[in-house]
Amino acid sequence: MPHNSSETRIQDPFKPWKYLLSPPLKLNFVSPNFMKVLLAICIFTGFSFIYFSTFPGQKWRTATCPECEQPLLHSTYRRHTNIVSATAAGHGVIKTDISHILFGIGGSAETWGQRRRYCELWWKPNVTRGYVWLDEEPAKPWPETSPPYKVSEDTTRFKYTNWDGSRSAVRIARIVKESFELGLDDVRWFVMGDDDTVFFTENLVNLLNRYDYKQMYYIGGHSESVEQDMAHSYTMGYGGGGFAISYPLAAELVKILDGCIDRYAEFYGSDHKIESCINEIGVPVTREPGFHQMDIRGSPYGLLSAHPLAPLISLHHLDYLQPVFPGRNRVGSIKRLIHAYESDPGRVLQQSFCYDLTRNWSVSVSWGYNVQLYPFLVRAKDLSTPLQTFLTWGTWSQEPFTFNTRVLSLKPCERPIIYYFAGVDGSGSGKTLTWYRRPHPEQRRQCKGENYGAGYTVKGFNVSAALLDPGIWNKAPRRQCCEVMSGGDRVDGVVQVRIRGCNQQESVTPP
């Protein structure tokens, strides 16, 4: 049936330029909308200026950093073993492990040389299963550290009528079908991702274990930018954040996919086509907030410091964002985060916060990423609301997002003092010690207030926590509590924080 989206666009004067911007690197510079784009760029540049002048440490983040490019060692990566479980999936069933997942990564021969930097951070040769699907045979020898590749079937016979997108969407949409038709043994889940998606596979495995792979599931996350959800869909698993399709659903999907791709010929993205075809089967997306499409521009700091209460599953668009850690390049930053993740996968980016009432301090920990110290009392709801250090994806606007944000003040006396993850000792039995330090050199404008003076004497935080039991996600969700231990910082300027499960009647409530 023909779709009337061109009519809709004519009726809504704002839609065309949102469409224009949805693939931001394919701007049409002869369009009359160019001025709007220019305006957006100016706003973004202004924002960046403010950002850099208040985070001057970020200026040298692009400086060469040779140690950042060393290959990541996976020595601490725990091998998965088939454990007979008695959990959600049923009694006496072999638990889903990494070997049951077949990854399908949408790539292209031309860009793989760049994109493999991200994929190879999480891909474990001979452990993870799957393929990068290319548009043509690669010209260079294929790297051993990359997932094996396959060349997609020809898709010229399919219809693609989106005026703004790329035909490759058809090819990428068919990856799930081509993967299914390989007929590989013991595949329970097909997980799709982009070539610049970083998966946190241990968390992904634990997450999929919460769902019965014998039923039809479609699991993913949406876009952070409302304009993207409007232009594409609110109800799909975004391809960059990645999504998972259970075997029985894939089996039904492949039967209708080819015809369906033609029916939704005007849809821009492969993920939108997949959602539409799954919709014909009647299966909605199961939304998991740990899949991160990362449709934002600027710094991910605010978002990652107040992560939702859910395991981290994926990150995307890292080449379009400022590096996660100041003073490190993009890839080096993700390596650092993975270093923390490997010591306690479920806990990475989990937020806990608590007060030190002897000094009226608020301390917020995003485990494995940073500690934020406010030398005054901040309400819990504010601490758990992301600081807006980013703009929307398509139009680089201040809003709206699919979650609430709070303004990051430009006044030094209203901003948190930030300490970044610097190391982890995970050798303790069932426990970790992570430490967080202020970036050097600290160039940011400082607050002259007495309370900040006391805050600045803190050189770092040492945070202890028990390994997070993945079983916690099967229970009613509750943020974990923390406490600031007294004493230590008077000696060497390091404050001790302990993260633990909350007591029955505990809350983060100021006196």
For residue 357, the minimal CB distance to ligand NAG (Å) is: 7
Contact between 331 and 117 under an 8 Å Cβ cutoff? The reply is: yes
Q: Which is nearer to ligand NAG, 363 or 408 (CB)?
A: 363
For residue 279, the minimal CB distance to ligand NAG (Å) is: 39
Burial of residue 253, with CB atoms counted within 10 A of its CB: 0-12 exposed, 13-18 middle, 19 or more buried: buried
For residue 80, the minimal CB distance to ligand NAG (Å) is: 16
Contact between 84 and 95 under an 8 Å Cβ cutoff? The reply is: yes
Q: Which is nearer to ligand NAG, 110 or 425 (CB)?
A: 425
Q: Which is nearer to ligand NAG, 119 or 170 (CB)?
A: 119
Q: What share of the chain is helix, strand, coil (3-state, %, to 5)?
A: 30, 20, 45
Q: Which is nearer to ligand NAG, 494 or 502 (CB)?
A: 494
Q: Which is nearer to ligand NAG, 113 or 125 (CB)?
A: 125
For residue 244, the minimal CB distance to ligand NAG (Å) is: 25
For residue 383, the minimal CB distance to ligand NAG (Å) is: 17
For residue 146, the minimal CB distance to ligand NAG (Å) is: 11
Contact between 104 and 179 under an 8 Å Cβ cutoff? The reply is: yes
DSSP 173-241: HTHHHHHHTT--TT--EEEEEETT-EE-HHHHHHHHHTS-TTS--EEE---SBHHHHHHS-SSS--TTT
Over 235-274, what HEC string results? CCCCCCCCEEEEHHHHHHHHHHHHHHHHHCCCCCCHHHHH
Q: Which is nearer to ligand NAG, 43 or 433 (CB)?
A: 433
Q: Match 């999504």 to its residue by tokens.
A: 243
Q: What is the rounded distance in angstroms from the CA atom of residue 442 to the CA atom of residue 58?
A: 10
Reference 414, options 391, 444, 441; nearest CA is 444
Q: Which residues bind ligand NAG (CB under 6 A)?
A: 125-126, 359-360, 425, 433, 435, 462, 488, 492, 494, 496
Q: Which is nearer to ligand NAG, 137 or 492 (CB)?
A: 492
Q: Which is nearer to ligand NAG, 94 or 357 (CB)?
A: 357
For residue 356, the minimal CB distance to ligand NAG (Å) is: 9
Q: What is the rounded distance in angstroms from the CA atom of residue 33 to the CA atom of residue 20?
A: 9
Contact between 50 and 410 under an 8 Å Cβ cutoff? The reply is: yes
What CA dihedral angle connects 87, 91, 92 and 97, to 10 degrees? -30
For residue 204, the minimal CB distance to ligand NAG (Å) is: 21
